[in-house]
């Protein structure tokens, strides 16, 4: 919030901070997608055994 109040001179820093947070969020999404893929694979294998 302090950076926002300081005005235009901090725009580059604020943008860099937002870009870093975005990259971290995307990494987390990709990890969660990989977890879901593994869970779906295991569910599929278990369901095959019950047929």
Extents of the domains making up the chain: 2-49
The model carries a pTM of: 0.71
Q: Is 1 a residue whose pLDDT tops 80?
A: no
Under the banding of pLDDT at 50, 70 and 90, the label for residue 4 is low
Q: Per residue in 10-51, pLDDT tens?
A: 888 889 999 999 999 999 999 999 999 999 999 999 999 987
Q: What are phi and psi of 11, to 5 degrees?
A: -60, -45
What are the backbone dihedrals phi and psi of residue 50, each rounded to the nearest 5 degrees, phi first?
-95, 0
Residue 21 CB coordination number (10 Å): 10
Cα 41 to Cα 15, 31, 37, 46, 51: the distances in Å are 39, 15, 6, 9, 16
């Amino acid at each position: 919030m302090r950076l926002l109040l300081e005005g235009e001179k901090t725009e580059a820093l604020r943008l860099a901070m937002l870009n870093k947070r975005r990259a971290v969020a995307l990494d987390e999404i990709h990890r969660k997608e990989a977890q879901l893929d593994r869970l779906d694979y295991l569910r599929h294998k278990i369901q095959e055994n019950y047929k």
